[in-house]
Amino acid sequence: MSTITTATLLKMKQDGQKFTAITAYDATFAKLFDDEGAHVLLIGDSLGMVLQGGSDTLAVTMDEMTYHTRCVARGTTQALVVTDMPFMSYATPEQTYQNAARLMAAGARMVKVEGGDWLCDTIRHLTRNGVPVCGHLGLTPQSVHVFGGFKVQGRDEFQAQEIYRQALCLQDAGIQLLVLECVPTALAERITKALRIPVIGIGAGPTTDGQILVMHDAFGITSGYVPKFTKNFLAETGDMRAAVRLYVQQVSEGSFPGPEHCFS
């Protein structure tokens, strides 16, 4: 597999080929995922939950995201490295530019921000200054307290229309990827077909261009609540490398996610 870029993922979307993303937080797992064919590695602020034991992602700092980005980048030769900008790290333009620059200098090739059309000016300025941006709509974990918990978004018609509208706005502002999290399959399909850019789903059904899982969920080692949209690939293989290969294979052939992993 050659080096993955946003152009690679766009070509895959155009050709109807599914791609696979997974979270990574250190060099060792990054190399494993890279070797086994993952197309995108996300340094997620999910580390606040799966590494630090928090109940949400809000306490994660820029220093922590920069550190883990540097670690993952050192273990990656092919996959596209994307890093979450943590909670309140992009609240003002000046703050956004400084923090995005730190993550890019640490080895990210794209940054991810959560939210809708209020971020459009920020996205335009980032892309104008050479920072590729991934958007994130649906269940955006940094807004968990606004939502009143980790809940499926877009089930009523008004909310679905808003998510659809915001996806188009973010695309027009310049994002090159979009993550849709915990939305009904029909809404995710509608957005994926409407956008020119690749769409990555997590709890968004099988019709998005790519899929992403938190690595701990893919290995079945998440403590506490296990989300409906996850699958324990390690249980089926008994080997971490084989588990990642199976994940990549099932995304590619369209057998994951199955109906049991989807929301209506």
Query: Distance (Å, rounded) from C-alpha 189 to C-alpha 180?
Result: 10
Query: Using one digit for the tens of pLDDT, what is the confidence trace for 36-46?
Result: 999 999 999 99
Catalogue all structural domains in the chain, each as residue range(s) with its CATH number. 6-261 (3.20.20.60)
Going by the annotation, the residues of the binding site for Mg(2+) are 45, 84, 114
**Strand partners of residue 40:** 21, 80
Q: Is the dihedral of CA 114, 214, 75, 244 positive or negative?
A: negative
The conformational region for residue 205 under phi > 0 = left, psi -120 to 50 = alpha, else beta, is: left
Please name the amino acid found at residue 72. V
- Quick one: tokens of 130? 């050479």
Q: How many CB atoms lie within 10 A of CB 145?
A: 9
pLDDT in tens, 48-102: 999 999 988 999 999 999 999 999 999 999 999 999 999 999 998 889 999 999 9
Q: Across the strands, what pairs with 41?
A: 22, 81
Q: What pTM value is reported for the model?
A: 0.95
Q: Over 60: is that where the pLDDT of 205 sits?
A: yes
Residue 177 tokens, joined = 């990827």
The binding site consists of 45-46, 84, 112, 114
Residues noted as catalytic: 181
> Which amino acid, one-letter code, is at 91?
A
Please state the residue numbers annotated as binding site for 3-methyl-2-oxobutanoate: 45-46, 84, 112
For residue range 135-181, what is the model confidence (pLDDT) as tens digits?
999 988 776 655 555 678 999 999 999 999 999 999 999 999 999 99
For residue 140, what pLDDT is reported?
A: 85
